[in-house]
């Protein structure tokens, strides 16, 4: 069963299978999730290289390292650009519950795949440039935003819009985690209100990547 919210446009939130209880375990299914994720990712890459922006899915090491930067506690964890689900799987393995996890993916084919791979997960088939429009993202504070969006290959105005939307759904303490293949310069653009907190280099990925974590400043703190 699929539930749809009146979000406008083609954007919709689906639950892969809402009858299934939220769990912290990666679901064991007959659906070959990881292999299918790889296949859908490569197919979308051939169709739309600029939006995918990577030569292959993130390695388990990169995905795990990103997941470990998500702080514990209450609040939603929002994943942007979930693709085939490598980072999604790492987040769930890391202990992010399906109650807290909300995934946003723009590609229809990859969204369909994600709904099958992760039954019960809240999935917005929509655009990270419209985050503040999604009612589901306003229901509770956002603890972390984990992004694999290809910010270096997307059009600049779109990147600006996405970063502004990230700021809009954030609150003091929200952690924004993004990876980039630019090992030295790191992320060029920072969402307003965020300051750099930490960075990690991951060599075991094709190509090697740099993960950066930013923290949303307390509004009382004018610094940065």
Ligand X SMILES: C[S@@+](CC[C@H](N)C(=O)[O-])C[C@H]1O[C@@H](n2cnc3c(N)ncnc32)[C@H](O)[C@@H]1O
| Residue 205 lies near ligand X (rule: CB under 6 A) | no
| Residue 112 lies near ligand X (rule: CB under 6 A) | no
Closer Cβ to ligand X, 5 or 73, answer by number: 5
- Across 38-58, b (16+ Cβ under 10 Å) vs e yields bebbeebbeeeeebbbbeebb
- DSSP annotation of 59: P
Give me the residue label for tokens 């993130």. 58
| Residue 81 lies near ligand X (rule: CB under 6 A) | yes
| Residue 129 lies near ligand X (rule: CB under 6 A) | yes
Residues 2-61 that bind ligand X (CB under 6 A): 51-54, 57-58
| Residue 149 lies near ligand X (rule: CB under 6 A) | yes
Coil, strand or helix: which one is 28? coil
| Residue 110 lies near ligand X (rule: CB under 6 A) | yes
Residue among 83, 87, 85, 192 nearest 146 (CA) = 87
Piece of the chain touching ligand X by CB under 6 A; list 22-30, 83-91, 191-199, 211-219 = 83-91
Measured from the CB of residue 209, what is the shortest distance to ligand X in angstroms?
Answer: 9
Segment holding 13, helix H or strand E: strand 12-15
Structure tokens at 179: 């990876």
Structure tokens at 133: 């429009």
Piece of the chain touching ligand X by CB under 6 A; list 12-20, 23-31, 144-152, 198-206 = 144-152
Which residues would be at the binding site for ligand X (CB under 6 A)?
51-54, 57-58, 80-84, 86-87, 104-107, 110, 127-129, 148-150
């Amino acid at each position: 069963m699929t539930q749809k919210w009146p979000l406008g446009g083609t954007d919709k939130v689906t639950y892969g299978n809402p009858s299934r209880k939220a769990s912290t375990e990666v679901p064991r299914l007959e659906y070959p999730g990881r292999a299918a994720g790889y296949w859908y990712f490569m197919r979308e890459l051939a169709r739309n290289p600029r939006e995918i922006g990577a030569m292959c899915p993130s390695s388990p090491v990169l995905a795990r390292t990103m997941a470990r930067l998500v702080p514990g506690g209450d609040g939603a964890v929002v994943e942007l650009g979930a693709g085939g689900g490598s980072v999604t799987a790492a987040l769930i393995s890391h202990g992010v519950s399906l109650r807290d996890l909300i995934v946003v993916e723009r590609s229809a084919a990859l969204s369909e795949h994600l709904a099958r791979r992760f039954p019960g997960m809240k999935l917005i088939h929509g655009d990270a440039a419209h985050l503040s429009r999604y009612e589901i993202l306003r229901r509770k504070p956002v603890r972390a935003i984990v992004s694999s969006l290809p910010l270096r290959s997307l059009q600049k105005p779109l990147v600006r819009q996405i970063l502004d939307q990230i700021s809009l759904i954030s609150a003091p303490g929200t952690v924004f985690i993004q990876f980039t293949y630019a090992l030295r310069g790191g992320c060029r653009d920072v969402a307003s209100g965020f300051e750099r907190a930490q960075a990690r280099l991951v060599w075991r990925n094709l190509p090697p990547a740099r993960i950066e974590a930013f923290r949303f400043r307390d509004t009382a703190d004018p610094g940065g």
